[in-house]
Structure 1
Amino acid sequence: MDDRTLNDLLRRFGLSDKEIDTYLSLLAHGEAKASTVADAAGVSKRYVYSVSESLADRGFVGVNDHVVPTTIRANPPDEVINRLRSDVDAIRPGLEERFSRVERQAEQFEVIKSRVTVIKRIRSLLDDAESEMTLSITADHLPEISESLADAVDRGVLVLLVISDVEGASGDGRGVDTDLDGLGSVVRTWSEAMPTLLTVDSAAGVVAPPELLRRSDTDRQAIRFSQEQLAPVIVGSFLGNYWPAASEVATAPPASLPAEYANSRHAVLQATLRLRAGEPPHVTVGGRWTESDEPVELVGRVVKAKQGMVEPTNNEFPVQHSLVVETEEGTVTVGGKGAFVEDVEADLVRIEAGETTETADAD
């Protein structure tokens, strides 16, 4: 390796030109007095002492100040290289963490400019859904994602679906050419052309204006997001502003029991359907008391459900979906993640068949 290349490489490790000259002089001598190094490097003896301390801190040299006169020795190259490699390995986690933080931030939002990409992103998110999705899609574009919707329902995902821009939308689903059976847990239609709104597992989704799906010459853009703070806001808007305006046209039959749900809305829907069939279910709930945050597991019979997913709805605000459970210790209200008006915030609800009765209240 020629001197120029060696000097350039040493500069990458933060050595100045004078430090490089001093270090290379020491390599040539092995060990020498400060005055010898000063003469060889063309610097003052005082500067050699100063540079030697800096080089010693970084592992390039050793300073023998216990002898008179003080001598300076170059450390073996293998030792220097191992020290440099160790330093590089030490900073790797910090660099990677900061890089991934920026990378994650960049991945939280994607601007989408074409209808084809919007449909592709929606289909991909539907295929990855694990517990819940809320979706509004125009009737014209429903066939493009119907297979993904059906697969999600088959996987046990809660699918709340609004089909918008339906001509003459009514309670019988008239105006939708696609067979709606199996496409959603609850399906509604609306004659208005609402935005395409998708949330999946309260963590990711897509927001697209109606014009982007209707026209190819529009400059309107869609957003794909992956942010747990934003998704619940979109869900709240969907359930509070659009869902009530649409007409219910299809509801899937109750799921087979026993069944477990980490998603509280799905548990509430299934309990509601059982209550309305005169089959109030028994539940085992794992979670925490909302007042004390202490863990709790309770067992009881569902006597009432407050919800806004199927008609007639009876919740007091759009995102309220809760169960009233009769236990041996008394009646307890159960909500999902972020519950604050209920007694218990549930992490998991196991639903089992109960005794058939006509006394339970699902309204």
Structure 2
Amino acid sequence: MDDRTLNDLLRRFGLSDKEVDTYLSLLAHGEAKASTVADAAGVSKRYVYSVSESLAERGFVEVNDHVVPTTIRANPPDEVINRLRSDVDAIRPGLEERFSRVERQTEQFEVIKSRVTVIKRIRSLLADADSEVTLSIAAGHLPEIRDSLVEAVDRGVLVLLIVSGADEVPDDIDEGLDGVASVVRTWREAMPTLLTVDSAAGVVAPPELLRRSNTDRQAIHFSQEQLAPVIVGSFLGNYWPAANEIATAAPAPLPVEYANFRHTVLQVTLRLRVGEIPRVTVGGRWTDRDEPAEISGRVVESKQGMVEPTTNEFPVQHSLVVETDDGKTVTVGGQGAFVEDIEADLVRIEEDDGDHEEADAGESDEADGADGV
């Protein structure tokens, strides 16, 4: 191998031109004083000391400063090569992980140019929904995805739906909304088609793309957990309050458990609205000390903006106020909660047994009184 090729290969491992010259001089001498290496490499003795420390850290040489004058010895090539090979093997997992992350990143966004593909992506995402769907869609396109929405609701998915479209929203639209969503609102103004599924994926499409076939507007299909919550926040904070509530599903039979906290809040709210006081068992963590939390008690209030009358203090607030069995009042929020006392992972909703126990006791007292007569 000629000197130029060897120099080029060594530079690929991060050695500068002077470091290459110093290292090759050491290889030629085996072990030498700094002054000898300096003369051979054409650098100062001080520079040789500095470069030798750098080369020693990377395993190319060994500095013997226990003798006077200090000597520098080139390590055997096999030893250096094994060290380099070990370093390459060590960085392989990190490089591969970052490369695959970039590959996933490129797959997280898809540009959609046709109405047919938008509807197809919406159906596919709805079929994969596990816990929550937020969707705004024009009334004229609702029939194309109606079955997918009904199936999601039947699976226990929370579905918040806005039916929009200027003058396209008919007065009798509520007749075709049976089972399509947990809560339905309408808005006569045109708005984008916004879909999020499980706060992880979704579709954003301008109104023109679904309305006209000759538009140059495009939609985006995304799969990114950082973006989806932003879309959900915009949906609940900007569009949902402006729409009119026209349909709400009946409460689910109890007992029931939800990992999705907004669904929990909705179900509790629906029961509070008809005078029921449900009981909950909450598992999660205390937000002030990051320790596991588990409480049981009666829900005395909900803070929410999903159904009228809304009770939240800001658009994305969804929380419960629970009177625990030991008489304390605790606030419970969902994932990422920091204002509330508990960040909930799972909530079980049940009927309040206390009411039944009091009723049983009353019936027993009446029976005892009748026997006494």
TM-score, normalization by structure 1: 0.71
Q: How far apart in 1 are the matches of 2:234 and 2:290?
A: 24
> 2:209 — aligned with what?
212
Range with bigger deviation, 149-158 or 66-75: 66-75
Tell me if structure 2 keeps the 8 A contact 1:188–1:243.
no
Distance 1:270 1:34, change over 3 A: closer
Q: How far apart in 2 are the matches of 1:294 and 1:69?
A: 61
Tell me if structure 2 keeps the 8 A contact 1:199–1:206.
yes
Distance 1:260 1:71, change over 3 A: same
Which secondary structure does the structure 1 equivalent of 2:281 belong to? Answer: strand
How far 1:79 sits from its partner (Å)? 1.5
Which secondary structure does the structure 1 equivalent of 2:168 belong to? Answer: coil
**Counterpart residue identity of residue 315, structure 1:** T
How far 1:60 sits from its partner (Å)? 1.6
- How many residues matched? 350
> 1:27 — aligned with what?
27
> 2:348 — aligned with what?
350
> 2:193 — aligned with what?
196
Tell me if structure 2 keeps the 8 A contact 1:150–1:183.
yes
How far 1:68 sits from its partner (Å)? 6.9
Which secondary structure does the structure 2 equivalent of 1:194 belong to? Answer: coil
Distance 1:315 1:170, change over 3 A: farther
Q: How far apart in 1 are the matches of 2:342 and 2:31?
A: 74
> 2:261 — aligned with what?
264
Distance 1:202 1:11, change over 3 A: same
**Counterpart residue identity of residue 263, structure 1:** N
TM-score, normalization by structure 2: 0.70
> 1:313 — aligned with what?
309
Distance 1:68 1:343, change over 3 A: closer
Q: How far apart in 1 are the matches of 2:189 and 2:134?
A: 18
Tell me if structure 2 keeps the 8 A contact 1:134–1:235.
no
> 1:281 — aligned with what?
278
> 1:360 — aligned with what?
none
Q: How far apart in 1 are the matches of 2:32 and 2:290?
A: 69
> 2:246 — aligned with what?
248
Tell me if structure 2 keeps the 8 A contact 1:171–1:248.
no
**Counterpart residue identity of residue 269, structure 1:** L
Distance 1:88 1:138, change over 3 A: same
Distance 1:346 1:167, change over 3 A: same
Range with bigger deviation, 234-243 or 202-211: 234-243
**Counterpart residue identity of residue 156, structure 2:** G
How far 1:159 sits from its partner (Å)? 0.7
The structure with more helix, counted as a fraction of residues: 2
Distance 1:74 1:151, change over 3 A: farther
Q: How far apart in 1 are the matches of 2:288 and 2:47?
A: 68
Q: How far apart in 2 are the matches of 1:288 and 1:330?
A: 19
> 2:60 — aligned with what?
60
**Aligned residues: CA RMSD:** 4.5
Tell me if structure 1 keeps the 8 A contact 2:251–2:271.
yes
Distance 1:269 1:49, change over 3 A: closer
Tell me if structure 2 keeps the 8 A contact 1:108–1:227.
no
Tell me if structure 1 keeps the 8 A contact 2:209–2:218.
yes
Distance 1:34 1:323, change over 3 A: closer
**1:28-78: CA deviation from partner (whole Å, max 9, x where unpaired):** 554456687678x57468489455455334322234555677654321122
Give identity over the alignment, percent: 72
Q: How far apart in 2 are the matches of 1:300 and 1:35?
A: 82
Tell me if structure 2 keeps the 8 A contact 1:169–1:189.
no
Distance 1:232 1:38, change over 3 A: closer
How far 1:168 sits from its partner (Å)? 4.6
How far 1:130 sits from its partner (Å)? 3.4
Q: How far apart in 2 are the matches of 1:344 and 1:72?
A: 63
Which secondary structure does the structure 1 equivalent of 2:14 belong to? Answer: coil
How far 1:22 sits from its partner (Å)? 4.5
Tell me if structure 2 keeps the 8 A contact 1:34–1:48.
no
Which secondary structure does the structure 1 equivalent of 2:174 belong to? Answer: coil
Tell me if structure 1 keeps the 8 A contact 2:63–2:73.
yes
Distance 1:241 1:37, change over 3 A: closer
> 2:9 — aligned with what?
9
Q: How far apart in 2 are the matches of 1:291 and 1:14?
A: 48
Tell me if structure 1 keeps the 8 A contact 2:169–2:186.
no
> 1:161 — aligned with what?
161
- Is 2:126 the partner of 1:130? no
Tell me if structure 2 keeps the 8 A contact 1:56–1:62.
yes
Unaligned runs of 5+ in 1: 358-363
Q: Summarize the alignment of residues 144-159 of structure 1 with structure 2, pairs less than 5 Å apart.
A: 144-159=144-159
**Counterpart residue identity of residue 138, structure 2:** T
**1:305-357: CA deviation from partner (whole Å, max 9, x where unpaired):** 554434x5342554454445455555847452366887765443211134689
Q: Summarize the alignment of residues 76-115 of structure 1 with structure 2, pairs less than 5 Å apart.
A: 76-88=76-88, 113-115=113-115
Distance 1:265 1:45, change over 3 A: closer
Tell me if structure 2 keeps the 8 A contact 1:27–1:74.
yes
> 1:170 — aligned with what?
171
Distance 1:8 1:127, change over 3 A: farther
Which secondary structure does the structure 1 equivalent of 2:298 belong to? Answer: strand
**Counterpart residue identity of residue 168, structure 2:** E
